[in-house]
Amino acid sequence: MTRRRWIADIVHENIAALTGEHAAHLGRVLRAQIGQEFDVACGDVVRRGRIISISDNRVEFALGEEVATQAAAELTLALAIFKFDRMEWAIEKCTEVGVARIIPVIAQRTDAHLAAAAAKRHERWIRLARQAAEQSRRVTPPEISAPMKLKELNNAGGVLSTDAVAPRVVLAESETKASLRDVLSSSTGEAVLAIGPEGGWTDDELAWFRDSGWIMASLGQTILRAETAAIVAAALAMDFLRQE
């Protein structure tokens, strides 16, 4: 039977712990018992963990041998902010698919009220991604960046920098020639995808993407909801990247 996986809040030598609500869920809701064994993600590795103590706000594990894991592709998703309930569903599902990083983006068509409230949602998004990562047996949850404006993307560093090797792809309804598969056919195991808000990217935003070196790509002839486009694009990209 596959063991459930937890992502440790604290790791010290051969002891790991869950704390706060994280521990309460395992201890009170799931009624964990001393001696039960789980997989425990400790940074970049996963180890076998046996529960040695349980309290209201802390569950401790004695760590054993390392558990084999498979390296994942590095996919970053720049996700324009849209209705929070749908966006949270997209964050959860993209986490399950394997996205490494999600950057909430304030686009021109992002509702002003959502843009103003996005910063307060950041911690909730992090928590949802962590829960989805544990459910899907990931080693680490995706990084959820603080919300930023579109034109701040090129200053976000890493695979988003203008000299990065990873292709930076913006999904655009107006693109009729290049598909996502075409664009990622020569990828190096890393990629960045930009998904627009409800109503899509504006012409000014698409011009900014082109001027910044992003590649236009299409998901097909049908028009998808923002959350559907995010999940479909992430799943396709992860599949393409795994083939490299």
**Cα radius of gyration (the chain):** 20
Q: pLDDT band for 146, please (50, 70, 90 cuts).
A: very high
Nearest alpha-carbon partner for 59 in 89, 84, 108, 26:
26
Q: Which two tokens stand for residue 151?
A: 């034109």
For residue 244, pLDDT beyond 50? no
Average pLDDT of every residue of the chain: 89
Give the pLDDT confidence of 188-215 residue by residue, as tens digits: 788 999 999 999 999 999 999 999 999 9
Give the pLDDT confidence of 55-74 residue by residue, as tens digits: 988 999 999 998 887 777 88
Q: Which two tokens stand for residue 226?
A: 């923002």
For residue 159, pLDDT beyond 90? no
Sketch out the chain's domains with CATH numbers.
5-67 (2.40.240.20), 74-242 (3.40.1280.10)
Task: Name the pTM for this structure.
Answer: 0.82
Q: Are the C-beta atoms of 62 and 52 separated by less than 8 Å?
A: yes
Give the pLDDT confidence of 70-121 residue by residue, as tens digits: 777 889 999 999 999 999 999 999 999 999 999 999 999 999 999 999 999 9
**pLDDT > 90 in the chain, percent:** 61
First to last CA, the chain: 31
